[in-house]
Structure 1
Amino acid sequence: MPETTPDNPLKRFDITADQITHVVSVFYAQIRRHPVLGPIFADHINDSDWPAHEDKIARFWRNAILREKCYSGNPMRQHLTRPDIKAEHFPLWLALFHQVLQAELPAHLARSWAALADRIGEGFRAGIVSMRQPKDAPPKLF
């Protein structure tokens, strides 16, 4: 159940929009330098498109955490339609995201956001595995 705060009774935890924007910015600066993830992102996001991408992802997180209703889109579809994004990339993405959260936020906020990111990331990873397996293949459970 989401934690409530006086200014937003639907918030999952007490973080500000500015903190979310900051974390997203730091994270994507590191993504661009990552030896595995950086080239994948570079294939889909031009240098001039990074500010718009970061804004979109910050809106995704504000929607997920602050319940701002400021994001519309289908991130699962975006990941599924890019065959170079593989299930094995999600643990790398999450590990880097955890590092940024721990470096940029107080411990209690980093833990709360990391737990939410883990659930979302695992959902994306499992969705990619499920949707990309042959139609008659047995399910992959991990």
Structure 2
Amino acid sequence: MIPPRFPITPQQIDATLAEFYLCVREHPGLGPVFHRHVTDWPEHEAKIARFWRNAILFERAYDGNPMAVHMAAGDVRAPMFAVWLGLFDSVLRRTLPADTAAAWSALAHRIGRGMQMAVQDRDGAGPPKLL
């Protein structure tokens, strides 16, 4: 059995995601995009919980492809990832011990950067310009 990336319980993951998606549904920029694609919020939260349990706890219960889903959505834009991650970070800080929140945030930012770059490429924005 592989040890978790950092100490967190499945219940903490579920509670954090429940709080996060409450915030997402009310967010003026993210809410409309999510509402166009999510028709069953409890199922969506359960699926995303499986994703994070796989990424953090190595439970192997998630079998989706989040990159493909975000790319196919069509209305997910690169700047949304900074907003999403900022909202996620604020929920992490409110719901978890500081060390756990920081570790989960670092993982989410790493995943988010990959998705953001793929969306930029899809939209023809290309990679960020390095000075």
Q: Give the counterpart letter for 2:72 in structure 1.
A: T
Could you say which residue in structure 1 is the equivalent of 2:25?
32
SS in 1 for 2:73: coil
Root-mean-square deviation (Å): 1.3
CA distance in 2, matches of 1:140, 1:68: 33
Report how many residues are paired: 129
Shift of 1:10: 2.6
Gaps of 5+ in 2: none
Shift of 1:140: 2.2
CA distance in 2, matches of 1:140, 1:116: 21
For residue 49 of structure 2, the aligned residue among 52, 58, 68 is 58
CA distance in 2, matches of 1:9, 1:108: 20
CA distance in 2, matches of 1:32, 1:25: 11
> TM-score if structure 2 supplies the norm length?
0.94
Aligned-pair identity (%): 47
Gaps of 5+ in 1: 1-7
Q: Which has the larger radius of gyration?
A: 1
Could you say which residue in structure 1 is the equivalent of 2:123?
132
Shift of 1:94: 0.1
2:108 equivalent to 1:121: no
Could you say which residue in structure 1 is the equivalent of 2:84?
93
Contact 2:4–2:56 (8 Å) recurs in 1: yes
Deviation track 1:53-76 (CA, whole Å, cap 9, x = no partner) reads 000000000000000001001100
Report 1 or 2 for greater relative contact order, CA contacts < 8 Å, sequence distance ≥ 6: 2
Could you say which residue in structure 2 is the equivalent of 1:105?
96
Q: Which has the higher helix share?
A: 2
The structure 1 segments of at least 4 consecutive aligned residues displaced by more than 4 Å after TM superposition are none
SS in 2 for 1:141: coil
> TM-score if structure 1 supplies the norm length?
0.87
